[in-house]
Amino acid sequence: TRCQVAVIGAGPAGMLLGHLLRQHGIDVVIVERRDRAYVEGRVRAGILEQGTVALMARLGLDRRLRREGLVHSGTKLSVDGAVFRIDFAALTGGATVTVYGQQEVMKDLFDAAETRGLDVVFDAEDLRLEAVDTDRPRVSYRRHGIDHVVDCDVVVGCDGFHGVSRAAIPEGVLKTFERVYAFGWLGILADVPPADHELIYCSHERGFALASMRSETRSRYYLQCAADERVEDWPDERFWDELCGRLGPEVAARVTRGPSFEKTVAPLRSFVAEPMRYGRLFLAGDAAHIVPPTGAKGMNLAVSDVTMLGEALIDLFEEGSTAGIDGYSARALARVWKAERFSWWFTGLMHRFPGTDPFARQMQVAELDYIRSSRAAQTTLAENYVGLPLSPGP
Ligand code: FAD
Ligand code: DHB
């Protein structure tokens, strides 16, 4: 097969980039290791920044999102049970975020791929990248026992943190930065109404908790837990009791308990790989960077990467201009690092760090009290949470 752009990975980054390029008549093949049901079934992000909603709109894929997404103009913070609100809209000149699960985004992207003829190859095993430092890179893989080769002009690695694309950049070129946190998040989904109409980020002596949702009838709750916590040790009753303890009596009174149908532990990590380009290989999304989930930046960063890379590739194929692709890595990383900083800061502010002393807790409580009382501090939180603007292009 021959195409202009081979995209590795059909997560949010790969599928959005695929649709964007296809909208401009660029010939794309997306190659994914798993099947559609697997990718669509993964319970992950829940909060879309305005830029993410805007990209879905630009692709003409926002009908269900407009109908079913819940627009939030603020969020709540709870400190040992005392709750206050951050009013995003008032602090940022009207910006909001939208609750719409990554699973719903994926369903919309896959449905549209079928109707628009966007080529997605599932079940591709043993994928390899070749000659990415030439103008004729190649992607090879095996599918149902048959070997395939895709010749292309550009390869885009959207294959997540555990993918193969990043490893195609030579060690002497790639620089990585990493922080692994000594705790994880235990998350559940339950078909019960959420405790509040907004999210509640909760800092508590016993650890962080988050009250989120997927709809008016589906709740998503998280508890900070040990990195090696076993889900089997958390029957629903224990989860609800611990959650209510951290949220405090006022919010706990509004928690509806019910059977969970999803329960998993996610590790927390900060990670950046630079540069995000090597020859004709470009990285986007989790393939290049990971943020801890506090602040909901992961998927949104993948979207801002592909928005910038999409512009650059459209310039390349429509105008023959390499200015965009040459500037992509620096441009994307400028925004990535700010989101890394925000996610790291918000994680540090809200979690209990094993082995720290009472002074460290007082510093957190004092900073939260400062945020509660300072419009300037709230503005800083709000403008980062709703999403910083894209860095200027070349
Ligand atoms: P991915 O979604 O990881 O997609 C990569 C795709 O590439 C996958 O479909 C994978 O199967 C495929 N692939 C991998 N290797 C290969 C290969 N060798 N060949 C072909 N295909 C390959 N973000 C939030 O904002 N909020 C959250 O609550 C949240 N929770 C998360 C929970 C978990 C357990 C994880 C792992 C992530 C979570 N995130 C969350 C982060 C968010 O989901 C990611 O940032 C987002 O999915 C990134 O999209 P992506 O397309 O870059 O990568
Ligand atoms: C969700 C996840 C987050 O990491 C976050 O900051 C907010 C919401 C969620 O899954 O609903």
DSSP per-residue string spanning 319-363: I---HHHHHHHHHHHHHHHHHHHHHHHHHHHHSPPTT--HHHHHH
| Residue given tokens 């070997």 in the structure block | 147
Of 35, 44, 49, which is best to mutate to test ligand 1, by the most ligand atoms within 8 angstroms of its C-beta?
A: 44
Question: Looking at domain 5-69+100-178+269-352, does it have CATH number 3.50.50.60?
Answer: yes
Q: Is the beta carbon of 14 within 6 A of some atom in ligand 1? A: yes
Distance from Cα 372 to the centre of ligand 1, integer Å? 34
Catalytic residue among 12, 194, 292, 293: 293
Which pLDDT value is given to residue 391? 85
Catalytic residue at 289? no
Query: Which residue has the CA at smallest separation from atom 2 of ligand 1?
Result: 11
Domain ranges of the chain: 5-69+100-178+269-352
CA pair distance 39, 114, nearest whole angstrom? 15
CA of 228 to the centre of ligand 1 (A): 20
Length of the chain: 394
Q: What percent of the chain has pLDDT over 90?
A: 98
37-87 pLDDT, tens digit per residue, is: 999 999 999 999 999 999 999 999 999 999 999 999 999 999 999 999 999
Q: For the whole model, what pTM was predicted? A: 0.97
CA pair distance 49, 105, nearest whole angstrom: 13
Spot the catalytic one: 100, 141, 181, 201: 201
CA gap 38, 44 in Å, rounded: 12
Residue 392's pLDDT is what? 86
| Ligand 2 contact via 211 beta carbon (within 6 Å) | no
pLDDT along the chain (394 residues), means of 10: 97 98 98 98 96 98 98 98 98 98 98 97 98 97 98 98 98 97 98 98 97 98 97 98 98 98 97 98 98 98 98 98 98 98 98 94 98 98 97 84
The predicted-structure confidence for 277-293, as pLDDT tens digits, reads as follows 999 999 999 999 999 99
